[in-house]
Chains A and B, each alone.
Chain A
Amino acid sequence: MIDVSGLRKRFGPTVALDGMTFTVAPGTVTGFVGPNGAGKSTTIRVILGLDAPDEGHALIGGKPYARLPHPLHHVGALVDAAALQPGRTGRNHLLWLAHSQGMSAGHVDTAIELVGLGRAARRKAGGYSLGMRQRLGIAAAMLGDPPVIIMDEPFNGMDPEGIIWMRGLLRSLAAEGRAVLVSSHLMGELQGIADHVVVVGRGRVLANARVEDLVARASDDQVRLRTSAPDDAAAVLHRAGTAATVADAYTVTVSGTPAQRVVEVLGRAGVPFSEVTAHRATLEEVYLRLTGGEAEYQAGTPHQEARR
């Protein structure tokens, strides 16, 4: 449904997009992850026809966004939930959007109900919490009942209850057969909801795979060993031709060797150990490994992706 191909874009000396290519299929939630400055928002703006790429193209159902008649019927997007005029009520915000697509006020009330904005919809948006703004933004995205949903950092500023609701909503949207693209700079937010992840850094795709495959690949038979003599254990394992590193005073990590074999080697050498566990990588670890050299900001977790 979304077909991004070979996007390149520079902002002055900064390369924002450097051959960005991926697709989003109907009926899936595709996570779009990468550190801040990786080009996620720029890609989304190009998909929505807001920014023009220097090269490449982004198509929705085979057409450039700008050629879609009444585009909100084809693509619903939440780009910046704070992009509201504070003096206007949430409902009136949705109303002008509906009018721009030739829709009536009835659709507005349906969308308000869908996101659970309720009576707050008749209050001025300036008084909304960030979570309420996110809900209003999602109502705007759902207004035209579109087959493609794009959300840029939808979890930002949401309370735990909202995050749970959001995850459920994204899953159900995909279950209805829609193509859902969700960007995040925190991989953990996507664990359990994304079927597919596109990991990006410096304007390029670093990994593009099913979540299962990605995690399995990163786990690569790691075994975690709990012992009171980590140095001895590591030495013994090395002698047996096994890659082992001392993680801390009680832990040794072993890779490329099944847990069974580790137990045998240690037992023969008489090194004491209390626990051997086969380790399965989290999506977060996969992500960190992939983007370790790519992040522009390694420390901290800034909330807003730097624009331009």
Chain B
Amino acid sequence: MTTTEAPRPAIRPERESFRPVLRAEWTKFRTIRGRLIGLGIAVVLCTTFTFLVANGTHEGTCTGTGSTCQSGHPYVATGPDGEAVADSYQFVGQPLTGNATITVRVRSLTGVTSANSTDTAPSLAHTRPSLAAWAKAGILLRPSTAQGSPYAAVMATGAHGVRFQYDYTHDQAGRPGTVSVASPRWLRLTRTGDTLTGYDSADGTAWTKIGTAHLAGLPSTVQVGLFVTSPVSFEGSGSGFATQATAAFDHVSQGARGAQGTWREQSIGVQDFYPKLPGGGYHRTGGSFVLRGSGDIAPAVVEGLLGTATPSSSVLTGLIVGLIAIIVVAAMFITVEYRRGMIRTTFAATPRRHRVLAAKAVVVGGVAFVVGTLAAAVAVPIGEHVLKANGAYVFPAGASTMVRIIAGTGALVAVTAIAVLAVGTIVRKSAGAVTAGIVVFVLPYIVGSSMSGGAEQWLFRLTPAAGFSVLGALPRSAQVDYPYTLANGYYPLSWWAGLAVLCAYAALALGVAAVTLRRRDA
């Protein structure tokens, strides 16, 4: 060995200084075999618990027609984007070829609401007059009446004014106000190629454009006609009540040919999952049409009918168990160094202590992300498969939602691990850090998910439990009135907002950890 007073030329500290620290921390992490085994166990536990939970879930969905809950579920249509949709309505229509303009006047729109909740058989004998806010009556155009197929419609609604809607999820508002004999609504739908445009008018002369839809690949001959539908009403209560709407139309004109073709009546979706009041129908007196119907043309949300099963709904227990394992690994990644005094060796090797913290955060966060993503990628499909095999209705999730759930789980685990690492840096004791990690990052979820009454909504907004929003996969829609509460399976925050709340906690913990590291003797 030779004496060297000056730094060697091979060392370029200022520029490269983070990489060696990162590499050192990774070497530290991977050279403890117990840690790697622990991570493997976390994945196995998460998957096992997911399987057990899914396997223990046997109830199917209530059909809403009076039968009790049982295995198996009635048909739920799937929309153009793969989403679950309600597509049931009273329809009277005819085929139409080529470009056209359809005009109609809605003279009245009234409704009734069942007195019995959807748990019991609905009957027209037990109703009260009440029009659902999203009762719809208007012009519907679609390539076929197959449930879930594309469509465009211009309609009067119970409480949302005139709307132009297409393909279940798209909605544009027209003239506000309710329909009455004194104040009827004129509706118009034009087709030009695959472009559909909705208009409304108060007098049938001055027309206002509401919106335009492009239905790609629309065939030359389509079904067009009048429709009425009326969705389940929740009116603030947990249980739903089937409704029925009655609409009177006149001044029906269909382009140059007039409304003189053969009208054919259809009740669409009678046998599907959606609860309806019986007695829908249609009668025509000269140029006046009266339609009565029940159902909805909108995204299907839980609606108290479909159950809350999603591809990710069985993962929770397994995720909690896996998360606790990760919390232990993350906390001990630094607390063990304090316990053994090895932290001095670490800080003697890297006097810039915040770099050590950053490197540890990158290593433990990266590992936790991989482990969490891997566990979710294994557990989520297993859970979904078992749920379906047990007859539960599982809300379909698109590929992007699946990717978000799986990667989001990885992110949830990673951010939690980084935050717990910071807590470990602050408290320096394994038991304290693990306890604090569980209390702060797991307990709010457990408490919140077993609470009711509204306070839990705040737990899922303000505490690290918000991070669990990444698992949220239940559909929600502005076009469906439903109490989207935690009790009904909906997280109050969107997945990214929930993750942001968790990130804020992690950032806070990291900041405090960096300050204590700088101020404290090692």
Contacts and interface: CB of A to CB of B under 8 A. Distances in A.
Real complex partners, A and B?
A: yes
Interface of A: 26, 45, 48-52, 61, 65-74, 77, 79-80, 82-89, 92, 95-97, 99-102, 114, 140, 142, 145-147, 176-178
B455 interface: no
Nearest to B35: A87
Interface of B: 1-5, 7-8, 10-11, 13-14, 16-17, 19-21, 23-28, 31-34, 336-337, 340-342, 344-352, 521-522
Nearest to A79: B344
Contacts of B14: 69
Given A66-B352, A97-B24, A142 B31 contact: no
A89 B4 contact: no
B7 A73 contact: yes
Contacts of A82: 340-341
Contacts of A67: 351
A73 B4 contact: yes
B342 A99 contact: no
A181 to B, nearest CB: 14
Contacts of A45: 344, 521-522
A79 B345 contact: yes
Given A92-B31, A96-B31, A50 B4 contact: no
Contacts of A26: 3
A77 B14 CA distance: 23
A126 B10 CA distance: 34
B24 A96 contact: yes
B353 to A, nearest CB: 9
Nearest to A78: B345
Contact of A69 (B7, B19, B32, B341): B7
B193 to A, nearest CB: 65
B340 to A, nearest CB: 5
A100 B24 contact: yes
Interface SS of A by simple majority: loop
Nearest to B1: A145
Nearest to B342: A83
Contacts of A145: 1-2, 4
Given A97-B24, A100-B20, A102-B16, A87 B33 contact: yes
Contact of B344 (A71, A83, A88, A146): A83
B341 A100 contact: no
Interface centre among B1, B33, B337, B346 (most CB of A within 10 A): B1
B522 A100 contact: no
A69 B10 CA distance: 12
A26 B5 CA distance: 10
A66 B354 CA distance: 12
A49 B26 CA distance: 24
Contact of B27 (A65, A86, A96): A96
Contacts of A50: 344, 347-348, 521-522
Contact of B11 (A69, A83, A87): A69
Contacts of A100: 20-21, 23-24, 346, 349-350
Contact of B1 (A80, A84, A176): A176
Nearest to A145: B1
A147 B4 contact: yes
Given A69-B11, A87-B34, A88-B31, A178 B20 contact: no
Nearest to A95: B27
Contacts of B336: 85
8 contacts: A70-B11, A71-B351, A79-B344, A84-B340, A95-B27, A96-B25, A97-B24, A176-B3
Nearest to A102: B20
A99 B347 contact: no
Contacts of B11: 69-70, 73, 101-102
A178 B34 CA distance: 40
B351 A65 contact: yes
Contact of B13 (A66, A70, A88, A140): A70
Contacts of A96: 24-25, 27-28, 31
Given A100-B24, A176-B1, A71 B348 contact: yes
Given A70-B11, A84-B340, A101-B20, A49 B347 contact: yes
A89 B349 contact: no
Contacts of B21: 100
B17 A69 contact: yes
A61 B7 CA distance: 11
A83 B1 contact: no
Contact of B348 (A49, A88, A89, A147): A49
Nearest to B345: A83
Contacts of A71: 348-349, 351
Given A83-B342, A87-B34, A99-B24, 20 more contacts: A45-B521, A48-B344, A52-B521, A65-B351, A72-B349, A74-B7, A77-B348, A87-B33, A95-B31, A97-B24, A99-B20, A99-B26, A99-B27, A100-B346, A102-B11, A102-B19, A114-B1, A146-B4, A176-B1, A177-B3
A140 B8 CA distance: 18
Contacts of A142: 1
Nearest to B29: A96
A104 to B, nearest CB: 11
B27 A92 contact: yes
Contacts of A178: 3
A265 B441 CA distance: 88
Contacts of B27: 92, 95-96, 99
A140 B349 CA distance: 10
A196 B5 CA distance: 21
A202 B280 CA distance: 98
Contacts of A68: 351
Contacts of A102: 10-11, 16, 19-20
B522 A51 contact: yes
A89 B31 contact: yes
- 7 cross-chain pairs, A with B, having the tightest CB-CB distances, nearest first: A69-B13, A100-B24, A83-B341, A92-B31, A66-B351, A96-B27, A177-B3
A102 B34 CA distance: 26
Contact of A51 (B26, B33, B345, B521): B521
Nearest to A150: B348
B348 A48 contact: yes
B123 to A, nearest CB: 71
B21 to A, nearest CB: 6
B15 to A, nearest CB: 10
